[in-house]
Structures are given as structure tokens and as C-alpha cells.
Amino acid sequence: MPWCWLGTPVAPYHEPAMVEKHNPKQVAGYRAAEMVQTGSVVGLGTGSTVFFVLIRLAERIREEGLEITAVPTSVDTETKAREMGIPLVSLDEVGSIDLCIDGADEIDGDFHMIKGGGGALLREKVVASISEREVIVVGPEKVVSCLGTTFRLPVEVVPFARSLVVRKIQLMGAEPIVRMSDNGGSFLTDNGNEILDCHFPEGIDDPAALELALDAIPGVVESGLFISLAHAVVIGHPDGRSQVLEKD
């Protein structure tokens, strides 16, 4: 589906003067933070764009008296949110989440996404699954016509089963590589698992079918394919504009 057909446009929003006009991540993050209503339970995603959501939410808490409780999707987000004074609760303490704000590594015209560049794909998907509404914040470069064309698909795997999963994914026509950490060892998620970053040379034709196929491989914990979970996307632009598209 061509991107121009996606969703219903919402009137442009002019960011506060404090926003750096040429930082699309900040533009998108600030816009999404304005969608949060007092009294809400908010899911907080992970990544560099969500970082600006945290900044603006903390400002609103201090300046407006915004009252929220938030569920973080990673240790990194939890640490940053606590430092900024955002009240947090665990997933065990909530039955559902009113609004989840998260980023994406790619998003297509059907609102299907690739996520997991920050390594938090499992927790992000769990939080998204119980959210009444999920808003995705991205820059324009994250919008693609076909998933897998600009970013490798992360697949979280149990270390014991890594070699088996690699072979199975190779049979699907992909080229998986083990994500490495800065210290030279395998990158480990907050759950103690490894990540395979998988390149699909021709892109991903059927994301929903691929998600099911990957989930069926023993040893796969979760894939970075997020299907039918996003309700809206906020796109920040280099000129300071923000654009909100709602899923029909």
C-alpha cells in the first residue's frame, strides 16, 4: 500500500520554541508527549526518539502538574525515567495501558513495523499487546514501502538454540548475524537472550506470515516484527513540522 494512502492526516502542530527545528526525533517525541492525558497509564518505549518523549513528559509533570504512571519497556528507559522524575510502576501492577509511545526502525503503509534496534523488542511487544492505543514516533527516514529494505530484522533467541535458529532462518532466505556488544561478546537483552539481526535481500513480502514462521522455530523468543499493533504514527520533519497519521 503506498504511503500516501496511509491513515488519516491530523492538522499540523507547531512545536514550542524550545524544540530544535532540525531534529526530527525531538519534533516527533515532543508531539507525542502532548497526547498524554492526566490520569493515564503510559507505556514508555525504548530508543533515541522516545528519549525526547521522556524529556517532554518530565517537563509537563513539573510545569503542568501532569499526573501519570508509566511502565518502562527496558532497563535503560526505566533508569532515564526515574532520573527525570517520571512515576513508574511495574507491569504486574497494571491490567492495561492507556497509551504506549514507542519508536520504530521501519514502518510501512500498513503500520507494520520492524523494532528491536535497541534490543528491547520482547518487552516492547508485551507492553504494546496490552495497550489500548500505541503511538509510534519516527523521523521520515523510517517510513518505508517494504519492511526489511533499510534495517535488519532483529530476532531474540535463547543462546542454547542459536545455531539451530540460524540454520532455520537461513532456509528462509535470510542472512542472520549475531549482534555483538561493545566489549566484544554477544549482545544480551535485558532478558539474558541473544539477538540475531537478519538481512532479507529482497525485503519482507509478507510480514505477518514471516512473524508466524519465526515464532514457530524452537529457541526463538520473539521477533522484531510488530504486526497490527500501532494505531498512529507521529513523523517529525527536519523543518520542524510534525505529522500525525491515524490508522483507518
Cα dihedral across residues 13, 14, 20, 22: positive or negative: positive
For the question of residue 83 being annotated catalytic, the response is: no
> Which DSSP helix (H) or strand (E) runs through 65?
none
Q: In the chain, how long is the greatest CA-to-CA distance?
A: 55
Type of residue found at 38: T
Within 8 A by CB and 6+ apart from 174, the residues are: 153, 198, 199, 200
78/74 Cα distance (integer angstroms): 6
How far, in Å, are 100, 131, 161, 236 from residue 24 at the CA level?
20, 25, 39, 4
- Looking at 15, 78, 106, 124, which residue is catalytic? 124
User: Hey, which residues are catalytic here?
Assistant: 124
